[in-house]
Structure formats: structure tokens, C-alpha cells
Amino acid sequence: MVSIRQFWSCRSSVGVFMSESFSNAYLKLEEKRKSLNALLLSVLKHVPSFKFRGLTLSVPSMMFDLMQPYTVGEHQHGEFEVTICEWGEYLNTSDGVVSIFRKDAHSVLVMPPATLHRREYTKRLTLNLTFHINVPVVELHEKRLLEEIQNLCAQKKFKFPLDGLSAILFRQFRNQLPLWGGRDPATVGLLAAAFLSAFFHSIFGEIEPPPLTHFDSQDFLVEQIKLRVQKYLNGKYFSEEYLQSNFNLSANYLNRIFRDRTGMSIRRYWQQQRLLLLRSLIENTDTKFCEIARILGFCNPAQFSAYTRHHTGKSPSELRQATLR
């Protein structure tokens, strides 16, 4: 039986010679890929669902895929597929749109459900990390939303930047994988969901949901308020009046509906979500405190530290140390 090393070191029938250095690189990356995928299986059990525009999205699989110099033929997706180049580079073609992805470019390939005519090609070994995301579609407005996302992806050539909070969370997710001295699978799973949620909201947040007049549901209105509040988590102040122009409804009316359904004011919800984000960045990442302060809109690290102590009873350092124990 011919081994992998012997196979890649032999001349093929068409006279192509795969060098020993290529064989060594392949074996090393293949070993790394198998180890990482074994770890991701344990992580996957701890990845919670996340919400986007009223949709509940789940992650059925995460995997590292090693691409050899070849072309992947056309096929169709039944799920979202978010792919990040971990090593090397590759070319993607969908409906005649061509984009090149490489690790240093910090860009992500996003293939929505029903994407057709995808073709991938790489000139050398490439290692990719791919998330598959289930999108249960029931209502008409959900189908319209996916159509808008599909159109936006085509306009952007299926290529989106990985920056801001999503970049920070992805970096922490990748660095926390146990193979690289990270923490337990549950922590890595939470980081994976946090990254995907932040990425979806930052990229597809520019897509407006269907007009509220199409729905006679105060519950739907509350969900839309919650989504828009996320845009203000990086600000020091918040007022219900910020939302008036979004809904053409008075701040008092919005606040009354929100309080009836949730038991808290919109401003209190904003404070709660901002504090949850603050704690997540402190406890689940190694992001510098000055950077967290900047992300959340604090004037300086001292103000950030005082806010943290006031709302949690601990300083940022104490919170992080407690997590590491």
C-alpha cells in the first residue's frame, strides 16, 4: 500500500512531481487539522444558539478543512457558511464573482443558504476554519430577510472584513483552543457564539427588518427595540429618544410597551446588556483593559475601572483573576 508521503513524492501519470517539502508541509498541516477537529467536536457541544433579527441561529458544525491544490466543483448550500483562511490562500467564485482570501487580509467568506455555483481553487495547501449555521425559516419576513442578505453578499462579492469587536472575539476564540494552551471547551464554545453573533450584527445590521406595519405584534416590536439597543452599547449615555426616529413612535410609548413585556425600561435593558458585554470581554478574553474601555465608550481606563467596581463589586483585574482560578 502506498503511503501519503510516497504518494506525494511520486510522479503522476501526467508527469507532475510533488516535492518532498510539499509532502512534509501536507503531513504537518494534516496532523494539525485532525487535532483541531477533534477539539472542535468537544467545543461544539457547548456552543449556544444566538439571535439575529428575530432568527434563532444554531451552529451544527465547525471544522478545519485542508485544501490541496485543486478545484472544488459547484454545489449549493442549505446553511450559512462562514469561512476564515487560517493558512495559505484560496480563490472563490460564486455566480461569476471572484474573490481571493488569505489569512493576512482579515476577511471572511460568507455564503448564505441557497448560494449556487460556488467554485474554490488554491495553488498551494490552505487551511480554513468553517462554521456552518442553521437558519430555520418559517415566517415570510424571515424569507425576505434571507433574500436581502443573499443580495448583500453578492454585492460585497461574498467578502466581509473581520474587524472591531468581531475581530477581537474571533482572535480570542482561536487563541483559547485547548491545543494552544487555552481553557475548557465550554469557554471556547461561548467565545465561538459571541464571535458569530457580533459578526452577524456588525455586518448584516445594515439590513433593515421588514416595516413594522406588516406585523400586529408588540412582542415583535420589543425584539426590534432590543436589536437596535445593541448599536448603542459602545456609548457612555443612552436615551429612549434615540429610537424614536427608527419607529416613528414616541419614546414614552416605546418604553411603556417594552416595560410591559420585559419588566424593565429600555434604558435599564441597555445598562444590563452593556454590563454583560463588559464582563464577557473581561472574563472570556485577554483584551487589554484600556482597549475594552475604548470599545465601550469610556473616557479613560479609570472611569472604566470605577464603573466595573460599582456594578460588580470587583475591579477588572479581580474579575479576570477570579475566572482564571
The type of residue at 236 is K
The C-alpha cell at 279 is: 464582563
> What's the pLDDT score for residue 172?
78
- Residue 151 and residue 140 in contact, taking contact as beta carbons nearer than 8 Å: no
Say if residue 55's pLDDT is above 60.
yes
> What's the pLDDT score for residue 178?
62
> What's the pLDDT score for residue 46?
86
Rounded to the nearest integer, the mean pLDDT of the chain is 79
Of 203, 241, 204, nearest to 225 by C-alpha is 241
Say if residue 267's pLDDT is above 60.
yes
- Residue 82 and residue 196 in contact, taking contact as beta carbons nearer than 8 Å: yes
Domain with CATH 2.60.120.10 in the chain: 28-204
**Banded pLDDT at 214 (limits 50, 70, 90):** very low
Domain with CATH 1.10.10.60 in the chain: 212-324
This prediction has a pTM of 0.65
- Tell me the torsion sign for CA atoms 201, 206, 210, 212: positive
- Tell me the torsion sign for CA atoms 143, 157, 201, 320: positive
**Cα dist from 59 to 37, 56, 140, 244, 262, whole Å:** 15, 10, 23, 35, 27
What is the secondary structure of 233-249 as a DSSP string? TTSS---GGGGHHHHTS
Higher pLDDT, 103 or 310: 310
**Banded pLDDT at 277 (limits 50, 70, 90):** confident
Residue 36, SS3 per DSSP: helix
Say if residue 164's pLDDT is above 80.
no
CATH value of 212-324 in 3.40.50.620, 1.10.10.60, 1.10.10.10, 3.40.720.10? 1.10.10.60
The C-alpha cell at 38 is: 477533534
Q: How many residues does the chain have?
A: 325
Of 156, 152, 159, nearest to 205 by C-alpha is 152
Higher pLDDT, 61 or 291: 61
Question: How many other C-beta atoms lie within 10 A of the C-beta of residue 59?
Answer: 22
Of 186, 69, 201, 66, nearest to 124 by C-alpha is 69
Of 190, 177, 131, nearest to 38 by C-alpha is 177
**Banded pLDDT at 183 (limits 50, 70, 90):** low
> How would you class 19 by CB atoms within 10 Å of its CB: exposed for 0-12, middle for 13-18, buried for 19 or more?
exposed
Q: Which residues contact residue 186 at a Cβ distance below 8 angstroms, ignoring those fewer than 6 apart?
A: 46
> What's the pLDDT score for residue 63?
92
Q: Averaged over 234-252, what is the pLDDT?
A: 77
**Banded pLDDT at 20 (limits 50, 70, 90):** low
In CATH, what class is 28-204? mainly beta
Q: Averaged over 106-111, what is the pLDDT?
A: 90
Q: Averaged over 255-269, what is the pLDDT?
A: 90
**Banded pLDDT at 309 (limits 50, 70, 90):** very high
d(CA 77, CA 26): 28
> How would you class 116 by CB atoms within 10 Å of its CB: exposed for 0-12, middle for 13-18, buried for 19 or more?
exposed
Say if residue 106's pLDDT is above 50.
yes
Say if residue 215's pLDDT is above 60.
no
**Cα dist from 47 to 2, 43, 273, whole Å:** 40, 7, 20
Question: How many other C-beta atoms lie within 10 A of the C-beta of residue 256?
Answer: 12
**Cα dist from 239 to 23, 160, 212, 286, whole Å:** 60, 31, 21, 31
